[in-house]
């Protein structure tokens, strides 16, 4: 299966192309431009550099949250747009937290993905990595940092923290050498990890109409409507 993936969930815009588990190419940039300005040109350039065309792609995948509200909508919208008028093309949504775990699939032990949501509350998920295989052990959720620390302590074993809140959680384990933080080079959004996730779990593949975004917390528009209804 040939998979084209994009990640617009944060500051980094990333695109990747894989074929039967082999990474053909990947481009990741941090830009001040909006993802809507850069992501499709990046896709076109990557396909051209890999001497491929959209007709050669079997599945288009994107990070579907949590993350930037606007960025996620741009990524999912781009995937749906590519699928319009092309009934052969499949699509998939991959959790941003799951994609981060695949960034460090070389690790042996438990992987905890922690992204800052607000104050000391994080977007959180947990996985076990063994022999390059990633297995989810905790669903995506919102969790206080203290609760995350307790869960890690109760689980025991070697642990890898990854995400923009990893150092804050690590500070709660200063005397525990079994709790590590991912190297900076492995902590940025990588579309290739989305390819890998789809390769390893084809149940992620869906139809364009069913592809949506998982914010894990209310959007600003939803909060505004709730405020108006309660006024």
Domain holding 143: CATH number? 3.30.420.40
Q: What angle do CA 129, 132, 137 make, to 5 degrees?
A: 25
Is there a domain that residue 231 lies in?
Answer: no
24 and 82 share a domain? Answer: yes
Beta bridge partners of 127: 111, 136
The answer as to whether 131 is a domain residue is: yes
Q: Has residue 58 been placed in a domain?
A: yes
Whether 42 and 112 map to the same domain: the answer is no
* Same-domain check for residues 122 and 174: yes
Pairwise CA distance, residues 123 & 207, whole Å: 26
- Same-domain pairing of 162 and 113: yes
Q: State residue 31's pLDDT score.
A: 86
The neighbour count for residue 216, using CB atoms within 10 Å, is 18
pLDDT of residue 167: 96
**CB environment 49-73: b (16+ within 10 A), e (fewer):** ebebeeeebebbbbbbbbbbbebbb
Mean pLDDT, each 10-residue run in order, the chain (231 residues): 97 97 96 92 98 96 96 96 90 98 97 96 97 96 97 97 97 95 94 97 94 82 46 51
Q: Check whether residue 83 and residue 120 sit in a common domain.
A: no
In a domain, 230, yes or no: no
CA distances for 142 relative to 118, 119, 216, 217, 227, angstroms: 10, 12, 7, 8, 22
Asked whether residue 197 falls in the same domain as residue 167, the answer is no
CA distance linking residue 194 with residue 119, whole number of Å: 28
Q: What is the per-residue pLDDT for 33?
A: 86
Same domain, 174 and 216: no
Closest by alpha carbon to 69, among 46, 92, 96?
A: 96
- 88 and 193: one domain? yes
Reduced to 3 states (helix: H, G, I; strand: E, B; else coil), residue 93 is: strand
The answer as to whether 164 is a domain residue is: yes
For 26-128, where are the alpha helices, taking DSSP H only? 35-49, 69-83, 96-103
Cα dist from 192 to 23, 24, 25, 135, 198, whole Å = 7, 9, 8, 18, 10
Q: Report how many domains make up the chain.
A: 2
pLDDT of residue 223: 42
Q: Say yes or no: 138 and 198 in one domain.
A: no
Shared domain for 127 and 16, answered yes or no, is: no
Q: With the C-alpha atoms ordered 72, 76, 82, 85, is the resulting torsion angle positive or negative?
A: negative
Q: Examine the domain organization and report whether 193 and 177 are in the same domain.
A: no
- Straight-line distance from the first to the last Cα atom of the chain, in angstroms, rounded to the nearest whole number: 52
Domain assignment present for 67:
yes
Full residue range of the structural domain in which residue 114 is found:
105-181
Tell me: do 92 and 193 sit in the same domain: yes
Whether 82 is in a domain gets the answer yes
Residue 193 in any domain: the answer is yes
């Amino acid at each position: 299966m040939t998979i084209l993936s994009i990640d617009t969930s944060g500051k980094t815009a990333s695109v990747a192309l894989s074929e039967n588990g082999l990474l053909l190419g990947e481009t990741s940039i941090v830009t001040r431009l909006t993802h809507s300005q850069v992501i499709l040109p990046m896709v076109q350039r990557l396909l051209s550099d890999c001497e491929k065309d959209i007709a050669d792609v079997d599945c288009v995948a994107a990070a579907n949250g949590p993350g930037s509200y606007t960025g996620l909508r741009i990524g999912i919208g781009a995937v749906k747009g590519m699928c319009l008028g092309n009934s052969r093309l499949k699509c998939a949504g991959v959790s941003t937290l799951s994609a981060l775990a695949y960034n460090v699939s070389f690790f042996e032990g438990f992987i905890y993905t922690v992204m800052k949501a607000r104050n000391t509350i994080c977007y959180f998920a947990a996985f076990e990595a063994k022999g390059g295989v990633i297995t989810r052990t905790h669903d995506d959720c919102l969790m206080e940092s203290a609760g995350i620390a307790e869960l890690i302590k109760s689980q025991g074993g070697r642990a890898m923290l990854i995400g923009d809140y990893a150092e804050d959680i690590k500070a709660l384990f200063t005397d525990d050498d079994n709790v590590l933080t991912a190297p900076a080079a492995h902590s940025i959004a990588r579309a290739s990890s989305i390819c890998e996730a789809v390769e390893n779990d084809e149940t992620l593949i869906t139809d364009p109409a069913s592809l949506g975004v998982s914010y894990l917390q209310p959007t600003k528009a939803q909060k505004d409507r709730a405020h108006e209804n309660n006024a």
